[in-house]
Amino acid sequence: MNRARIKDIAQELGVSPATVSRALSDSGLVAEPTRSRIREAAQRLNYRPNVSARNLRTQRSMAVLMVVRDVGNPFYLDIMKGVEAAAREAGYSVLMGNTENNAEREVEYFDMLRDGHADGMILITGKLPEREGFPQELADLPVVVALEPIEESGFPHVMIDNAGAAREAVAHLLSLGHTRIAHIAGPIPEPMAVLRREGYRQAMREAGLPIPQGYEAVGDYLLRSGETCCRELLSLAQPPTAIFAANDEMAFGAINELRRLGLAVPEKISVVGFDDIFLSQAFYPPLTTVSQPRTEIGTEAMRLLLKVLAGEDRTGEVVMMPTSFRVRGSTAPAG
Amino acid sequence: MNRARIKDIAQELGVSPATVSRALSDSGLVAEPTRSRIREAAQRLNYRPNVSARNLRTQRSMAVLMVVRDVGNPFYLDIMKGVEAAAREAGYSVLMGNTENNAEREVEYFDMLRDGHADGMILITGKLPEREGFPQELADLPVVVALEPIEESGFPHVMIDNAGAAREAVAHLLSLGHTRIAHIAGPIPEPMAVLRREGYRQAMREAGLPIPQGYEAVGDYLLRSGETCCRELLSLAQPPTAIFAANDEMAFGAINELRRLGLAVPEKISVVGFDDIFLSQAFYPPLTTVSQPRTEIGTEAMRLLLKVLAGEDRTGEVVMMPTSFRVRGSTAPAG
DNA sequence: ATGAAAGCGCTAACAT
DNA sequence: ATGTTAGCGCTTTCAT
C-alpha cells in the first residue's frame, strides 16, 4: 500500500485538500461532521503528514541541533537526556552533533542551522568557530550555550557557578583542617578550567593561605593526567594533604595513583572531584565531589531555546543552575 | 541579508536555475566556465541549499534515526559515537531517539520513519512495539538492530556472541581453579540476559559442574541489584568463591557489597563483569570483564543500514562482532 | 465552513 | 551544454 496523501483523503471524501489540512491540524475552522469524517479517514488510510513538505511550506523543521564536543564523553549524557525530554515535550526532534573539538565541524553545524536542518541549536562545546572576532551573522542565530561559556558570543547561557562551586569544594577541605591543598586543573586556558582554578585560588586567599610553588598542576580532564599530576604533586618537598581535582575523572586517576604510592584515601590524603559523574559514588572510596544538575541544565537550555525561537530576545542572558556539594568517602580531617 | 536561493544565483548570472542546481551538485553536465562562475557566485552570495525543498523533491531526508532504550545510559555512548561517525561520513545526519522502555514511544519512532523524518533507523532497544505478532508493514522498513536481539523481526542485526563471551568469562574462572561459581543475571527473560546466563550454564556443564540451588541470582543491570544479589549469594550455605555478573555495573555493586562484608576481591572472591564500560579499568580493583567493540558495533550497524538503504536485501542477516576478554585485577586463583 | 489556487525551493525529465 | 517545465505534499491566503 502506497502512502496516503492529503489529496487521497480529500478525494475519498469529496472535500478539498485544504479542508483536510485544516481538520487534521485542529485549526478549529472545520465543521464537526466533516472533521470527524476526515479524521476517521486519515486513521483508516494510515495517513501521516510528509514532514519535508510541511517544513518547506512552513519554513521550519521542528528540529533542534544538540552539539557536543565529544559524544563519547559520558558527562554530556544527562544533559542530552534533558534536552531530548524538553524537546520532545515541545514537539521538536533532536539532531545529534559531535565536533570532536574540530573547528571546521563547528562551522558545519552552524551551516546546518542555516540550511534549515534545524530551527535552533544547543551548543555544549565550549568553543566557537575560530574566526576573527565573532561574526554578527552567527550571533543572530537561535543558539543557546550550555555548560561551557563561550565568551563574547552574546548567546544566552545555561551554566553553573564554576568558581563558586570550586570555592565551596576547597572550603570543605579547609573546614576539615587541611592547609596544604593542591589543585589539579583542567586544560588551561579553557574558560571552565580557569574558573574552577579561580575558585580554588579564591578559597585559599580567603583562608589566608599562600599557594605554594607547584601546587597548581594542569591536566586535561582525563584519567591519566590525574595520575601524572598527582605524582608530581606528591614529589614536592612539601606534598599536599588534600587535592582538589577539576573533574571526577582526574580525581579517580589521582586516587589510583595514591593507592599505588601506598597512600590511603582519605586517611593520608583527601581528594575532591567535580561533576559527580555516573558511578562516582560506586567508586572506592566513594568520591566527595560537586554535583551538577545535568539533566536540568539540558531541559533549561532547551526551554530557553524555545523562548528564543518564539522570538524573545535573550541576548546575553545567563541562567545559573545550582550545584550541590556531596560529601562522601574520599575526604577526612587532616591527620 | 536574506538567504540566497538558486533562483537568485541564476538571475545574477543570467543562467537557468536548473544549470545552477546541476553545477552545485557536481553532476558533471555543466561546462567548465559556467560551472566555476556559478560556484563562485554561490560562495559569494553565501548560498546554502534548503534541505526541506531538496528532501521534498528527492523524497529522502538524508537522516537516520538512532533509537536507544535510555539516552542516559553510558553504555550506549560509544555505539552512538560509531553510528554518528559512519553516518556523517556518508552524508547523513543523526536523529536521537529515546524510548525509555515505553512501547508507545517505540511506535512513534517507527512513525517518524514513515513521516519522512528519517530514511532509516537503528534500533538499540531490545524491544519492539507490542503488537500481535510482527506487522509486515513494519518489517519492510529500513531498520537495523544493534546489540540486543529483537526476535522474529527479520531486521538485520549487529551483535556480539553473548552466550559465547559469557562462556569464555566463566571458563576463565574455571581455569583459575574456581568451582563454586555463581551468576548474577540481567533482567530475565530479556534475550540478552538469557543468552549470557546460557553461556554461564554451558561453561558449567562443560566443566561437569552442577549449578547449586540459589547460584543464579537475577538482577536488573543496576548497581543496587548487584549489591543485593551478592548478599543473597553470600548468605548461602555454600557461598561461591567467584561471581560472574551479567554486566559491569552489577559487578561493581557486588564488589562494593563484598567490601562491606569484609571479603577482599580478588583474594577471597573473584568477580567478572561484562561490557567493559567507561572507567571499568579505573575501578579498584580494575575489573576483569568482557569487552565489546562498541564503536565498531555502531559503525557496522550504520554501514549495514546504508546497504539496506541502497536497496540490498539483508533480511535476517546477523553480523557477529568479536568480543575480547580483559583479564584485570578482580580475579585470582581460587584460594 | 469550504474550495480554488498559489507557492515554499529544489531537482529531474524532457526538449533543444 | 543549457533552458523549460512540472511537480514533490503541504499550508495558507483569498474568495465564496
At residue A27 the predicted structure's pLDDT band, cuts being 50, 70 and 90, is confident
Pairwise CA distance, residues B92 & B122, whole Å = 13
Cβ contact B114–A259 (<8 Å): no
pLDDT on residue B27: 74
C-beta of residue B188 within 8 angstroms of C-beta of residue B218: yes
C-alpha torsion B90→B95→B96→B98, nearest 10: -120
Closest Cα in chain B, distance from residue A55 (Å):
6
| The three cell numbers locating residue A50 | 510528509
User: Residue A99: helix, strand or coil by DSSP?
Assistant: coil
CA dist., res. A133 & res. A300, Å (int): 28
pLDDT the model gives residue A127? 58
Please say whether the beta carbons of B275 and B311 come within 8 A.
Answer: no
Interface contact flag, A96 B278, Cβ < 8 Å: no
pTM: 0.93
Of the given ranges (A126-135, A177-186, B325-334), which has the lowest mean pLDDT? Answer: A126-135
pLDDT of residue B72: 87
Separation between Cα atoms, residue B125 and residue B99, nearest integer Å: 8
User: What are the per-10-residue average pLDDT scores of chain B (335 residues)?
Assistant: 83 91 83 89 93 96 95 90 97 96 89 94 74 67 92 90 98 98 95 96 98 97 97 98 98 98 97 95 96 97 97 95 98 94
What does residue B29 show for φ and ψ, rounded to 5 degrees?
Answer: -100, 15
What percent of chain A is predicted at pLDDT more than 70? Answer: 96
Q: Residue A284 — φ and ψ, nearest 5°? A: -120, 120
Chain B residues touching A284 at Cβ < 8 A? 256, 259, 283-284
Test A259 with B117 for CB contact under 8 angstroms. Answer: no
What per-residue confidence (pLDDT) applies to B75?
A: 87
Residue burial A163-195, b: 16+ Cβ < 10 Å; e: rest: bbbbbbbbbbbbebebebbbbbbbeeebbbbbb
Nearest alpha carbon to residue A169 among A233, A264, A243, A267: A243
The single residue listed with the C-alpha cell 556518508 is: B90
Minimal Cβ distance to A48: which of B51, B115, B249: B115
SS3 per-residue string spanning B56-106: HHHCCCCEEEEEECCCCCHHHHHHHHHHHHHHHHCCCEEEEEECCCCHHHH
In this model, does residue A97 exceed pLDDT 90?
A: yes
Which positions of strand D lie within 7 Å of protein CB atoms?
Answer: 1-13
Pairing verdict, β B120-124 and B63-68: parallel
Contact A79, A124 (CB under 8 A): yes
Residue A3 is predicted with a pLDDT of 78
Give chain B residues 60-119 with Cβ within 7 A of strand C. none
Place of cell 593526567: A225
Return the H-helix or E-strand segment holding B278: none
Is A212 or B127 the better-scoring residue by pLDDT? A212
Q: Pairing state of beta strands A143-146 and A120-124?
A: parallel
Residues 6+ apart with CB under 8 A from B306: B86, B90
**Cis geometry, peptide bond prior to residue A285 (ω within 30 degrees of 0):** yes
Domains observed in chain B: 1-41 (1.10.260.40), 62-160+294-321 (3.40.50.2300), 162-292 (3.40.50.2300)
Q: What pLDDT score was predicted for residue B140?
A: 87
Q: Can you tell me the mean pLDDT for A153-182? A: 97
User: Mean pLDDT over all residues of chain A?
Assistant: 93
For an interface test with A, the pick among B65, B67, B71, B263 (most A C-beta atoms closer than 10 Å) comes out as: B71
Q: How far apart are CA A243 and CA A254, in angstroms?
A: 8
Query: What is the model's pLDDT at position B6?
Result: 94
Test mutation, B68, B89, B110, B117, chain A, max A CBs within 10 A: B117
Rounded CA separation B198/B186 (Å): 12
Per DSSP (E only), the strands in chain A are 63-68, 93-98, 120-124, 143-146, 157-160, 181-185, 216-218, 242-245, 270-272, 289-291, 318-321, 324-326
Residues with CB under 7 A from strand D: A 3, 5-7, 17-18, 21-22, 24-25, 47, 49-50, 53-54, 56-58; B 14-19, 22, 29-31, 33-35, 53, 56-57, 59
Beta carbon of A9 within 7 Å of strand C? no
Report CB contact under 8 Å: A84, B74.
no
Q: Which nucleotide shows the minimum CA-to-C1' distance to residue A19?
A: C2
pLDDT tens, A272-283?
999 999 889 999
Give the span between the Cα atoms of B61 and A116, in whole angstroms.
Answer: 12
Residue A125's pLDDT is: 81
Q: Which three cell numbers stand for residue B152?
A: 522474529
pLDDT, position A151: 77
Q: What confidence score (pLDDT) does residue A82 get?
A: 97
Q: Is the pLDDT score of A99 beyond 60?
A: yes
Let me know: does B331 contact B269? Beta carbons within 8 Å: no
What are all long-range contacts of B140-146, with beta carbons under 8 Å and residues at least 24 apart? Answer: B141/B110, B141/B113, B141/B114, B142/B113, B142/B305, B142/B308, B142/B309, B143/B113, B143/B305, B143/B308, B144/B120, B144/B301, B144/B302, B144/B304, B144/B305, B144/B308, B145/B301, B146/B79, B146/B122, B146/B297, B146/B298, B146/B301
Task: Estimate to the nearest angstrom the gap between the alpha carbon of A140 and the chain centroid.
Answer: 21
| Per-residue CA distances from B144 to A140, A309, B101 (Å) | 39, 34, 18
Largest CA distance in chain A: 90
In this complex, the answer to whether residue A73 has its CB under 7 A from any atom of chain C, a nucleic strand, is: no
Q: In b/e form, how buried is each residue of A256-286, taking b as 16+ CB within 10 angstroms?
A: bbbeeeeeebbeebbbbbbbbbbbbbbbbbb
- To the nearest whole angstrom, how far is the Cα of A315 from the nearest Cα of chain B? 20
pLDDT bucket at A33, cuts 50 / 70 / 90: confident
